[in-house]
């Protein structure tokens, strides 16, 4: 098993504010993962994506990408669904050039649909995207459906697992803070790993940060904003223990306000529990 730690996007400490600069900085401080952010659009050229891929490989950093936020695969307007698929596929294309394993996205919003109807729509969209990815030779990239932190967003753990069960090439991206917020501050790490068991994943891609949420009834909440790891909401150490106990090969992308500093804290916690980073 191997553990991959690093930030979402270019870290604050990187002297050179570019993806290449970020990779060199992360390798220097001893981190081995980074999620390239296309959340406001895919601004990186195809050539740069290839260069980033070569540099990441040289430095031993595992890459993933985060697709634009402006995505709704449950929209009642077919044009908006197609535009969402195009945005995801554009990120996938760059991910493929970079050698990134996962392209993460938030699937969409229920709107007027029932959860069952939304699940059908997301499943159909994922199937269309996977077919296109196979045609284009991008199919080694996984479509990563993220668990979401708000009641109106499609993406409970069960929903994400169900899509991944139905559509080959889709994987869950477990956002631990989102699960915690959505369930009103409840999060049983062992339960999550059990729910994922049937998928037979070789690698689990996840996001971690502390999070503030507003409760909306018994066992339900909406995420408000991200907090540092030291907030202990949710607590990181029990997760680290569960990962080591189950020997899960995992990536933990830090989305905390202090990004890479919290990745380094996670590294310390794993070390204190006896894990040795090579």
Q: Which residues bind Zn ion (CB under 5 A)?
A: 146
Cα gap 179→186, rounded to integer Å:
8
Judged by beta carbon, residue 55 or residue 146, the one nearer Zn ion is 146
> Of the candidates 8, 23, 27, 31, which has an alpha carbon nearest to the alpha carbon of residue 266?
31
Judged by beta carbon, residue 55 or residue 251, the one nearer Zn ion is 251
Residue 272's SS3 state is helix
Compute the least distance from the CB of residue 33 to Zn ion, in Å. Answer: 15
Compute the least distance from the CB of residue 121 to Zn ion, in Å. Answer: 19
Q: Are 262 and 256 in contact (CB under 8 A)?
A: yes
Distances from the Cα of 52 to the Cαs of 33, 36, 55, 58, 206, in angstroms?
Answer: 13, 10, 5, 10, 21
Written as six digits, the tokens of 141 are 């990239």
Judged by beta carbon, residue 8 or residue 27, the one nearer Zn ion is 8
Written as six digits, the tokens of 77 are 């307007």
Judged by beta carbon, residue 189 or residue 208, the one nearer Zn ion is 208
Judged by beta carbon, residue 146 or residue 262, the one nearer Zn ion is 146
Compute the least distance from the CB of residue 72 to Zn ion, in Å. Answer: 14
> Of the candidates 70, 75, 74, which has an alpha carbon nearest to the alpha carbon of residue 38?
70
What is the number of the residue whose Cβ is closest to Zn ion? 146
Compute the least distance from the CB of residue 66 to Zn ion, in Å. Answer: 6
Residue 166's SS3 state is helix
Judged by beta carbon, residue 146 or residue 159, the one nearer Zn ion is 146
Compute the least distance from the CB of residue 39 to Zn ion, in Å. Answer: 8
Cα gap 71→83, rounded to integer Å:
8
Written as six digits, the tokens of 167 are 């559509």
Compute the least distance from the CB of residue 276 to Zn ion, in Å. Answer: 30
What is the phi-psi region of residue 184: left when phi exceeds 0, alpha when psi lies from -120 to 50, beta otherwise? left
Question: What 8-state DSSP symbol labels residue 256?
Answer: S
In order, the DSSP letters of 106-144 are --EE-TTS-HHHHHHHHHHHHHHHHHHHHHHT-TTSEEE
Judged by beta carbon, residue 146 or residue 223, the one nearer Zn ion is 146
Compute the least distance from the CB of residue 117 to Zn ion, in Å. Answer: 23
């Amino acid at each position: 098993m191997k553990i991959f730690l690093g930030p979402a996007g270019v870290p604050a400490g990187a002297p050179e504010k570019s993806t290449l600069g970020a990779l060199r900085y992360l390798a220097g401080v001893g981190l081995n993962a980074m999620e390239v952010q296309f959340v406001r659009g895919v601004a990186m050229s195809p050539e740069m994506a290839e260069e980033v891929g070569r540099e990441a490989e040289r430095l031993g950093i595992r890459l993933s990408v985060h697709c634009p936020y402006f995505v709704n695969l449950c929209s009642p307007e077919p044009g908006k669904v197609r535009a969402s698929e195009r945005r995801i596929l554009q990120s996938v294309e760059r991910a493929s050039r970079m050698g990134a394993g996962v392209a993460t996205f938030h699937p969409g919003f229920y709107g007027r649909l029932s959860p069952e109807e939304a699940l059908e729509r997301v499943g159909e969209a994922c199937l269309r995207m996977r077919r296109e990815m196979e045609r284009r030779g991008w199919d080694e990239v996984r479509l990563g459906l993220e668990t979401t932190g708000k009641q109106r967003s499609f993406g409970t753990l069960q929903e994400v697992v169900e899509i991944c069960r139905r559509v080959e090439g889709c994987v869950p991206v477990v956002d631990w803070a989102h699960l915690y917020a959505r369930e009103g501050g409840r999060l049983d790490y062992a339960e999550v790993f059990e729910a994922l068991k049937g998928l037979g994943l070789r690698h689990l891609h996840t996001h971690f940060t502390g999070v503030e949420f507003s409760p909306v009834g018994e066992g339900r909440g909406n995420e408000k904003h991200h907090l540092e790891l030291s907030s202990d909401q949710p607590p990181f150490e029990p997760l680290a223990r569960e990962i080591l106990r189950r020997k899960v090969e995992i990536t933990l992308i830090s989305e905390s306000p202090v990004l890479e500093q919290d990745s380094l804290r996670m590294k310390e916690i794993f070390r204190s529990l006896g894990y040795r980073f090579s």
